[in-house]
Structure 1
C-alpha cells in the first residue's frame, strides 16, 4: 500500500479537464485496484479552474462526488492553488481539509508538498499574456486530440521553460530551509523529477490532468515515483524510481509544525 498519492491541476470547470480519467482514477483508489491502494490522497492545488462554480458541468460534478465518497475510506488533503476559490467553502463541499502546504514523512524521508504558484511571478505580473497563452494552448489541444502538438509547443517556449526552472529552483531552496528531503509541486503542468546536485534534495512535479498523459506521484516507504494513468490501458510502470526503500511510516502534518 502507498503512503500517499499526489496529483495536481485538475482544473475542474475547464473544457480540457480530463474528467473521465479523474473519475476512473478516484474510483480505482477507492476500490484499491490498479495498484492504487493508498493511506492518503493529496490534491496539490488547482482542483478548480476558476472562482466561477457555474462553469462546472454535470460530468465535472461527478469528480467532486467521487472525491466525497473517497473521504469515507482514506484521508484526503487539499492544498490550495492560484486557481482555487474560497478554501473554507470548498472544504465543506468536499469534506476535506484545506492547507497552504503540507509536510509528511514516508520511511525516513521528509516530504513537503505545495502548489508552487508562489514561486511564479510571471502569472501575477502579466495576467493577460498568461490568459492568451493558455487560450492558444487549449486550441492546439482541440486541433490535435493526442495533445502532442500542444506539449511540443509548451516545451519549446522559452518563457514556459524559465517559469518551470524558477519554480523548481525556488522550491528546492525552500526545501533546504525547511530541512526536508523531497519537495513536490504542481502549477507548471510539466511532470518532472530532478535531484539537486548541490544539496541532494529531490524535486518532483506531478504534472496535470488537462492533457494526455495524466500523471501523478506515488509515495511508498521513502520512494517517490512519477506515474502515468490511462483508464483504457493497464497501469504503466513508473517513469523512474528514486531513493532506497525505508520502513513505512506515514505522519501527515501541516508544514511548519
Structure 2
C-alpha cells in the first residue's frame, strides 16, 4: 500500500516557504507531512526552492530532492499542483502562465472553496516594501535570518532527542519585538485589501513565516507559515473548513494536539 493510499484525504493543501536548498529547511518534516496528507489540489505558495541561496553555492541534499520527488509523485497520481512564485524562487516568474507535466506556474490564483467562497492565493512578497524597494536590504536580512537559524540548530537537535517540538528563536523574536509585530499587522491588512481588490472573500499567502487564520474587516486571512521555523501548512477539508496544521505537534506523541483557535475579527483601526 502506497503512502497516498494511507494518507488522510483533504480537499486542498496549501504549503509555502519550504526554502529547499538551504540548511534551515526542515525537509524531513515536510516529507512526513506530505506522506500523511493528500489532496486533489495542492498549492505551493512560494519560496519552495530558495534560488537566492543556491546562487551563492549549491546545497541540495537527498532529503530536499525527496520532497520534490514526492510532490511529482502526487502529480503523477492525479493531484493538480499550482506553483505560486515567491521572492526566493522569483527565477520562475519568467515562466508564469506555463504548465509543465501537470504543474502550473502562476504569480497568483483564485481558489474556489467547497462552501462557495473564493480566495486569492498569493505569496505576498509584492506587498513587502523592503523586498520591492531595497533588495540589498532584504538580502542582508536574509543573511541575518540564516545566522539565527544556524544558532538554533543545536538546541533543536536536543529537543528532538527529548521528543519536544521544534522551537524557533526567530519566531519567538517576531512575537516580542514591537516593530516586527507592527510589520506583520500591516502585511496582513495589505493582503486582505488585495483580496478585496480581486473581488475575493479572502486570501491565502505565505512570505512572513507567521501562520495565521483570522478575519480582517470581514475578509478571511490565512497564512500558511513555513517549514524552517514553525513547520505549518494549511488544509481545506471537504466541507470547506480550513485548518492550520502545526506538524510537529501533530506528530509527536508527547505533545498534545492543541486546537486551532477560531478566526479572530481584526479591524484596520485596531
TM-score bracket for this pair, using the shorter chain length: 0.7 to 0.9
1:154 aligns with 2:174: yes
Please list the CA deviations of residues 94-140 of structure 1 after superposition, one character each: whole Å capped at 9, or x if unmatched: 75111111112111221211101111111233333333333333333
Give the ranges of 4+ consecutive aligned residues of structure 1 lying more than 4 Å apart after TM superposition: 91-95
* Equivalent residue, structure 2, for 1:100: 107
The answer to whether the 8 Å contact 1:43/1:79 transfers is yes
Residues 159-178 of structure 1 aligned to structure 2 (within 5 Å): 159-178=179-198
- Distance in 2, matches of 1:97 and 1:232, equals 31
Task: Report the RMSD for the aligned CA atoms in angstroms.
Answer: 2.6
Report the CA distance between 1:232 and its aligned residue.
Answer: 4.4
Q: Which runs of 5+ in 1 are unaligned?
A: 29-35, 244-257
Residue 207 of structure 1: which of 225, 229, 245 is its match? Answer: 225
Specify which structure has the bigger relative contact order, considering alpha-carbon pairs within 8 angstroms and separated by 6 or more residues: 1
Residue 64 of structure 1: which of 63, 68, 74 is its match? Answer: 68
Report the CA distance between 1:14 and its aligned residue.
Answer: 1.1
The answer to whether the 8 Å contact 1:228/1:238 transfers is no
Residue 122 of structure 1: which of 126, 130, 137 is its match? Answer: 130
Residues 20-31 of structure 1 aligned to structure 2 (within 5 Å): 20-28=28-36
Task: Report the CA distance shift for 1:207/1:22 in structure 2 as closer, same or farther (over 3 A).
Answer: same
Q: Which runs of 5+ in 2 are unaligned?
A: 1-8, 157-165, 265-270
Task: Report the CA distance shift for 1:236/1:77 in structure 2 as closer, same or farther (over 3 A).
Answer: farther
More helix by share: 2
Please list the CA deviations of residues 16-68 of structure 1 after superposition, one character each: whole Å capped at 9, or x if unmatched: 0001011122222xxxxxxx242211111111111537332332111111111
Task: Report the CA distance shift for 1:92/1:223 in structure 2 as closer, same or farther (over 3 A).
Answer: closer
Aligned length: 232
Residue 217 of structure 1: which of 221, 230, 234 is its match? Answer: 234
Report the CA distance between 1:77 and its aligned residue.
Answer: 1.2
* Equivalent residue, structure 2, for 1:252: none
- The two structures have a TM-score, normalised by structure 1, of 0.79
- Distance in 2, matches of 1:56 and 1:214, equals 19
1:180 aligns with 2:188: no
* Equivalent residue, structure 2, for 1:254: none
The answer to whether the 8 Å contact 2:19/2:228 transfers is yes
